[in-house]
Amino acid sequence: MPDAAASPLDARTPRRRGYAKGAAKREAILRGVMELMNRAGYTRQSLRDIGEALGMEPAHILYYFANREDLLQSVIELWDSDSIPSLRETGTRAAPPSLDLFVEAVSRNVGAPGMGHLFLAFAAEAVDPEHSAHAFFKQRVDRVQHDLAEAIREGQSRGDIKPGLDPDQSARHLMALADGLQLQALLQARGDVIADLRAAINALAA
C-alpha cells in the first residue's frame, strides 16, 4: 500500500469526506420519508409537506435531490435495495431466485402499506415514457420477471413444478397477481394477500 503521505488521494480526502457526509445526509432524508409514508400513508405529499414532516426546508431537500419525483424514486430504490441483501443473500453468498423469496418481498410490502401505496402509484405514473422513473420501473419489471421465470425453471428441473408450464408466462401471471392483490388490499383493507399468492404458487406444483 502506498505511503499515505505521498498518496495522490491526499488531495481528494476533503472531497471524499464531504461526499460521505452528503451521502449519509441523503440516506437520512430517504429513510425519513420512508418513516413518513409508513406513519401517515402516501397522500401525494408535496415537497413542502415532506419538508415539514422532516423538519427541513424544501430548499434543503433540493440540495440533495433534483425534485420531488427524484426524491420519491430514490425512496423506492432504497426500499428495493434494502430487500435485496435481506432476501437474496445468505451470509456472504447470494441466494438464487426463488418463489419463497418473492413471497417474502411481497410480504414486506404488505406490512408497510404506505410504501406499498407509494410504489404502486409511482409505478402507474412511470408508465409514461417521459417520466423520470420510467427506465427504473421497466428494468425492475424485467428483473423480477426474469428471476421468477428462473425460479420456475429450477422447480421444473427438480420435478416440483408442472413441466408443461411456460416459465415466462407463469412469472408474468404471478407478478400481476401480486400487484393486483396488493392494490385490492389497499382499496378494501381486507383479504390475505400472502395466502392468495401462496395458493397460486401451490397451483404450479407438479
For 74-109, how does the pLDDT look when each residue is reduced to its tens digit (9 = 90+)?
999 999 888 765 444 444 445 677 899 899 889 988
Region 176-196: mean pLDDT is 90
At residue 188, the pLDDT reads 85
At residue 92, the pLDDT reads 46
Domains of the chain: 67-202 (1.10.357.10)
How far is it, in rounded angstroms, from Cα 68 to Cα 48? 10
At residue 85, the pLDDT reads 54
Question: Measuring CA to CA, which residue among 70, 77, 64, 58 is closest to residue 115?
Answer: 77
pLDDT digits (tens, 9 = 90+) for 20-70: 788 899 999 999 999 999 999 999 999 999 999 999 999 999 999 999 999
For cell 412511470, name the residue: 126
Q: What's CA 156's distance to the chain center, in Å?
A: 28
pLDDT digits (tens, 9 = 90+) for 156-173: 999 999 999 999 999 999
pTM for the full predicted model: 0.77
Question: Measuring CA to CA, which residue among 155, 168, 54 is closest to residue 100?
Answer: 155
Question: Measuring CA to CA, which residue among 183, 167, 166 is closest to residue 121?
Answer: 183
CB 206 within 8 A of CB 163: yes
